[in-house]
Amino acid sequence: MVVFHILPIRAGEPSRDPEFPCSTPDPCPIRCGIGTKSHPPTFCTAEFPSPIKKPGIAALFPVPPVVLSASVVQKTPLGPQSLAHDLPGGMKIDWANGPIRGFQRDSYPMQRRQFLTTTSAALAATAASALTGCSKGNSTVLRIYTWADYLAPDLAAAFEKQHSCKVQIDTFDSNEAMYAKLSAGATGYDILTPSSYMVKTLIRENKLLALDHAKLPNLKHVDTTYLRSALDPKMIHSVPYMMAPTCLAWLGEKVPNAEASYKMLDREDLKGRITLLDDMREVLGAALCTLGFSINSKDAAQLAQARDIVRRWKKNIAKFDNEQYKSGIASGEFHLVQGYAGDLLQVADENEDIVVKIPVEGTAISCDDLCIPKDAKSVDLAHRFINFVTEPANAAKNMETITFRAPNSGAYPLLSEDFRGNEALFPADEVFAKLEPIDDLGDALSLWSKTWDEVKAS
């Protein structure tokens, strides 16, 4: 049996593929979104008899597939929930989050990489061959493993032209998926962009190269204010790439007397209209902030207090959710949501009633870093890429395109007034001081997991 990991289409879009028409109820039982850096997509698995006899199956993937370990594929945002769904052509879809509208073959940019995992060695060889095919000719290939839509296409093209190379981008939807894939033996990447806490894990496991600062003259532009709180402040193994805080967002017309505070999560008039992220680091971290503790606390008593606060919040919210909060607040289904600034600001661009603010008590700030794995084949080119995206003009263009903030002091004056004035991405100094990077928990991970399980079971 061959198992494919397939990305669904945008919410509300019917399938344009005549071979796989939509056959789910209308309206669709769930909303699902194209994955972004902080808004991972809903995934499904598609099973085919092995060997595959269906012609043109490779056309289902806009770019060559990548082999992913089965353990990652089996994880779903909502756990073991699944609904069988049959489509024409003998293809069985087992939707991870409920039935979704059909998928289409031609709606994704090239960097939006679909993943697959297989028990067939022959298919793995085919995938490897397809990847190798990207480097036909004599061009050097820079292989980047990153979040989806996390590099301005114009910058990728400019780098290719400037260095006579090809940029090949594979994507992951979570730090844990990236780590699992690397741990399963995936090699050949030249650039990784994990979040800082995962970089720390990779450093501890000796999986990253020490950077050659002589090849990175643009490091002088990295924001020194941010570096004071960074997990790799001397940039020995990593360079800050993009960051954004976790925010609260609400509908101005639906939430009177709003305040940028976690206190709003207790408001009875919003009961059933609130969502919190389905992420123990974010939610327990928010509760720890209300108590004045570090979001990375390893103290059992402090975590117990945070657990009790989240249990109280849980009684007031609609659900814990990583997927639907954007479309939910845009449609008016939810009135108050916890989410990532980059995602929320994109929605706010389309709906002026949405207010996005950093909680006054403090919050987590996620920074993704550029680093080079030890088994990289194009080490010199990787350094050139890091230096390229850290050049102020390029960093500014990248920020405006993907709606995240690069900690790059040289780029700030080049940003548009509207972008530079965004308080969620460029908070006042006193607010920025309350933002804390999520750190590696080490041995305390089991304590956090136990505490989160207690919240979910309550």
Q: Tens-of-pLDDT digits for all 458 residues of the chain?
A: 333 333 333 333 333 333 333 333 333 332 223 333 333 333 333 333 333 232 333 333 333 332 222 222 222 333 332 223 332 333 333 333 332 222 222 222 222 222 222 222 332 333 333 333 333 445 799 999 998 888 999 999 999 999 999 999 999 877 878 888 999 999 999 999 999 999 999 999 999 999 999 999 999 999 998 898 888 999 999 999 999 899 999 999 999 999 999 999 999 999 999 999 988 889 999 999 999 999 999 999 999 999 999 999 999 999 998 778 989 999 999 999 999 898 898 889 889 999 999 999 999 998 999 999 999 999 999 999 999 999 999 999 999 988 899 999 999 999 999 999 999 999 988 888 888 988 888 889 899 999 999 999 98
Q: Looking at residue 164, what is its pLDDT?
A: 95
- DSSP H or E segment with residue 5: strand 2-6
Q: Looking at residue 340, what is its pLDDT?
A: 85
* Same domain for 189 and 126: no
421 assigned to some structural domain: yes
* Same domain for 334 and 292: yes
Helix 379-390 with 392-402: angle, nearest 10 deg: 80
* Same domain for 406 and 321: no
* Same domain for 126 and 195: no
425 assigned to some structural domain: yes
**CA–CA separation, 351 and 330 (whole Å):** 7
**Full domain range(s) for residue 346:** 257-361+438-457
Here the tokens at position 6 are 């397939």
* Same domain for 406 and 312: no
Beta-bridge mates of residue 436: 364
- Closest among 215, 214, 112 to 156, alpha carbons compared: 112
97 assigned to some structural domain: yes
* Cβ atoms of 436 and 294 closer than 8 Å: yes
* Cβ atoms of 364 and 340 closer than 8 Å: no
Beta-bridge mates of residue 373: 208
Q: Looking at residue 138, what is its pLDDT?
A: 55
Select from 135, 160, 188 the last residue of a domain: 135
Helix 280-290 with 300-314: angle, nearest 10 deg: 100
Q: Looking at residue 43, what is its pLDDT?
A: 35
Q: How far is CA 455 from CA 76, 278, 311, in A?
A: 19, 11, 6
18 assigned to some structural domain: yes
7 assigned to some structural domain: yes
SS3 (DSSP) at 52: coil
417 assigned to some structural domain: yes
* Same domain for 339 and 193: no
- Closest among 58, 63, 178, 161 to 109, alpha carbons compared: 63
* Same domain for 420 and 373: yes
* Same domain for 125 and 27: yes
* Same domain for 404 and 453: no
* Cβ atoms of 97 and 30 closer than 8 Å: yes
In order, the DSSP letters of 81-99 are --EEEEEGGGEEEEEBTB-
| CB-facing half-sphere around the CA of 428: CA atoms within 13 A | 5
252 assigned to some structural domain: no
- DSSP H or E segment with residue 398: helix 392-402
* Same domain for 118 and 57: yes
Number of domain units in the chain: 3
* Same domain for 386 and 346: no
* Same domain for 422 and 371: yes
Q: Map tokens 């032209």 to a residue.
A: 161
Q: Looking at residue 132, what is its pLDDT?
A: 36
The CATH number of residue 357's host domain is 3.40.190.10
107 assigned to some structural domain: yes
